[in-house]
Amino acid sequence: MSGFDFSNELRNNYLGHKGLQLPRATSTGTTIVGCLFSDGIVLGADTRATEGPIVADKNCEKIHYITDNIRCCGAGTAADTEYTTALISSNMELHALSTGRKPRVVTAMTMLKQMLFRYQGHIGAALVLGGVDATGPHLFTIHPHGSTDKLPYVTMGSGSLAAMAVFESGWRPNMQRDDALALVKAAISAGIFNDLGSGSNVDACIITADHTETLRNVEMPNVRVQKERTYTFRKGTTAWTKESVRNLVVSEQVNPVGPADAMDTT
């Protein structure tokens, strides 16, 4: 049976009662946003992936494909967001083939929230789902326990408060495409510069009724500058007492056993 397996929970509880210190959950960080404009949806995300205090990836993708007209931004555990959205994307394609109709955003939202609620928050996926279908543009947030919101502008992740401050002061109904994109870039930048869990570059995705445009690294505010000095040292600067060279390539002689006839390919 497919899905997640929690059969080790009893074992982990037993070991915990015996005094074994179990590993703690790793803190996660992200800034993901979305907002409505006159013709559709603009989604945005930063590109930093962290492992606690370590930056594991400076340029990861957090805007995931669901269908041609639906995208989903993920915050939380990277593996959970990636595989959860991939699973729902597959189910949405099967749903479209079964019904013969273009899938709706509310269908993807229902599938996602039912799956997350089924696992009671153990799947660490906080999602911003946006898309345009036959009924118009729709924007949802989906929390790890399965609760949802439908709002004209949303933020999620550890940098969500900084991003929401930008939306609260700058968003207005029926914005034009360029204005909405600039607002999303400003909101993500606020998360990047005010939250240690967010950083690197800005990704965006613009979804309208007839086109979806993905803007990878639309802004790169943290380009590494050239160092003022170089730290190269000439050979022989540091003394050593002895030198040993090992050959790590293993040579092997193969002795054929049996007749060495050519393989019959007829």
Rounded Cα distance between 117 and 110, Å, is 11
Query: CA–CA distance from 5 to each of 8, 43, 147, 176, 199 (Å)?
Result: 8, 32, 22, 46, 33
Which tokens sit at 213?
Answer: 């445009």
> Which residues have a catalytic role annotated?
30
Rounded Cα distance between 222 and 232, Å, is 25
Rounded Cα distance between 126 and 84, Å, is 11
Which tokens sit at 151?
Answer: 């709002």
First to last CA, the chain: 44
What's the one-letter identity of residue 152?
P
